[in-house]
Amino acid sequence: MVEEGSREQWAVRAPRTVAEAVRQGLVQHGTLDTSLRPRQEEDFVLFPVLEWQEGTSRATFIQLRLIPSLPSHEMVGGIALLQEEDYSGAARILAARPSLHTALFAESDVEGEFRTRRFTVLAGRPTTATTHIEYGIRFRIDLSKAYFSPRLATERQRLLSTVISGERVLDMFAGAGPFALTLARQASWVVAADLNPAAVRLMRENILLNRTANVLPVLADAACLPDILPGRFDRIVMNLPLNPVPFLPIAFNLCRPGGLIHCYVLVQEEGEILEAIHRHPVQHVMERYIRSYSAGRWHAVYDITVGREEGQDRATGANLVP
Ligand code: SAM
């Protein structure tokens, strides 16, 4: 007798050692019955197939529960971000993913000086705050109060992989601290500045949450940093992609010759801000594509190795005329 939730079907019997290759062949030929779960029998794997083939026999398989397709969404901690204002889709997402507590729809693009978005709560707890874990680091975030994007996780790891122990790092536009806390794993210390008090509050929470002892949060306009910070840095992160160019003189002023500036920017063509970069002492520049942002625009990063220039004014970054 067939159990409830089970079904008889034609079965291909493959030795375990070659089972994966057989499965791939069945998928390629479109004959694997994906509504049933393959099963093991001693040293063989039985694959359900849609019709009789030479060598098949009848076998019973467990029926897979079909999960209804969910609306497209991105997950940040316990929050699902939907692309449409779809209330019933949001409820289905929360029902299907028990780790989520809230579903949101972004009413606006990132906007204003603090680069935040406005949201509508579609389902679940009425909050825009959550805890997101990225490569083992816990981030307390609040999407309506301070910018955060999990899409830069790989980029943060790329930078981390190039940090040499002992480095002094400055994050000029640090938000809730994702770059700062990531790079702090390898750097000697990190100064992390932001203009948004809510972002700096979250960053302090994140420093405590992760017991990070080498990140200094600073509530400041990046334009004032040369007056506040002593000395120069080995590496500077500038993640203000909409308009980083006015801050390049500050970054060059605060970076030691031979140090690195990572300047993130939204561009429409290759080399778009190269001219602005070359107004400063530069040893080497490398432009990298990170991801598409909108039609015809992409997120890029310029990795700039700072050159040496004699007679540069410490406070403004302007050249002193002899
Ligand atoms: N680095 C963070 C991240 O990757 O999540 C935040 C990046 S967000 C695109 C840019 C940040 O720069 C915002 O948190 C905003 O508050 C901050 N900001 C904007 N203008 C600033 C300024 N003049 N000085 C310091 N921070 C500024």
Q: What is the pLDDT of residues 264-290, one digit of tens each?
A: 999 999 999 999 999 999 999 999 999
239 close to ligand 1 (CB < 6 Angstrom): yes
Is pLDDT of 4 > 70?
Answer: no
Specify the pLDDT at position 322. 34
When mean pLDDT is compared across 117-121, 196-200, 226-230, 244-248, the lowest value belongs to 226-230
Q: Please give the pLDDT value at position 24.
A: 87
Alpha-carbon distance of 244 to 228, in angstroms, equals 20
Q: How confident is the model at residue 310 (pLDDT cuts 50, 70, 90)?
A: low
Per residue in 82-104, pLDDT (tens digit) is 999 999 999 999 998 999 999 99
* pLDDT tens column, 186-221: 999 999 999 999 999 999 999 999 999 999 999 999
Determine the residue type at 127. Answer: T
Alpha carbon of 63 to ligand 1 centroid (Å): 50
Residue 116: CB within 6 Å of ligand 1?
no
Q: Is the CB of 247 under 6 A from ligand 1?
A: no
Look at residues 262, 256, 271 and name the one whose alpha carbon lies nearest to residue 307: 256
- Residue 319 or 58, more confident: 58
State the average pLDDT over residues 121-136: 97
Output the CA 117–ligand 1 centroid distance in Å. 13
317 pLDDT higher than 60: no
Give me ligand 1 centre to Cα 243, in Å: 11
* Ligand 1 pocket, residue 170 CB under 6 Å: no
Please give the distance, rounded to the nearest whole angstrom, from the Cα atom of residue 270 to the centre of ligand 1.
24
Give yes or no for residue 46 having a pLDDT over 90: yes
> What is the structure's pLDDT at 101?
97
DSSP-derived pairing of the beta strands 168-171 and 137-142:
unpaired
Mean per-residue pLDDT, 166-184? 98
Please say if the pLDDT value at position 316 is more than 60. Answer: no
Quick check: 294 pLDDT over 70?
Answer: yes
Extract the tokens encoding 65: 């529960």
Instruction: Say if residue 320's pLDDT is above 50.
Output: no
* 319: confidence class by pLDDT, cuts 50, 70, 90: very low
The per-residue pLDDT for 311 is 56
* Mean of all residue pLDDT scores within the chain: 92
Mutate to test the pocket of ligand 1, among 173, 201, 218, 228 (most ligand atoms within 8 A of CB): 173
The rounded Å distance from CA 222 to ligand 1 centre is 9
Confidence check: pLDDT of 67 > 70: no
What pLDDT, on the 0 to 100 scale, is given for residue 148?
97
Residue scoring higher pLDDT (128 or 296): 128
Using the mean position of ligand 1's atoms as its centre, give its distance from the Cα of residue 16 in Å.
54
Residue 239 Cα, ligand 1 centroid: separation in angstroms? 7
- Report the pLDDT value the prediction gives residue 1, as an integer from 0 to 100: 42
**Residue 109 reports pLDDT greater than 50:** yes
Report whether residue 293 contacts ligand 1, using a CB cutoff of 6 Å.
no
* Ligand 1 within 6 A of CB of 243: no
Ligand 1 within 6 A of 76 CB?
Answer: no
Residue nearest to atom 21 of ligand 1 (CA): 195
Provide DSSP, 137-162.
EEEEEETTTS---GGGHHHHHHHHHH
Strands (E) located in the chain: 6-15, 36-37, 39-41, 44-49, 57-63, 73-76, 79-82, 102-106, 119-124, 129-134, 137-142, 168-171, 189-194, 215-219, 233-239, 255-267, 282-294, 297-306
How far the first Cα of the chain sits from its last, in Å, is 97
Instruction: Please state, for a pLDDT cut of 70, what percent of the chain lies above it.
Output: 94
Q: Which atom of ligand 1 is nearest to the CA of 221?
A: 24
Ligand 1 pocket test, candidate residues 139, 219, 224, 240, most atoms within 8 A of CB: 240
- Which of the four pLDDT bands, split at 50, 70 and 90, describes residue 252? very high
Binding site membership of 178 for ligand 1 (Cβ less than 6 Å): yes
* Residue pair 14/56 in contact by the 8 Å Cβ criterion: no
Q: What pLDDT does residue 309 have?
A: 75
Q: What is the best residue among 144, 147, 229 to mutate for testing ligand 1's pocket, by most ligand atoms within 8 Å of CB?
A: 147
Question: In residues, how long is the chain?
Answer: 322
Full set of structural domains in the chain with CATH: 6-63 (3.30.70.2580), 73-127 (3.30.300.110), 150-306 (3.40.50.150)
Among 23, 14, 133, which residue's Cα sits nearest to residue 76? Answer: 133
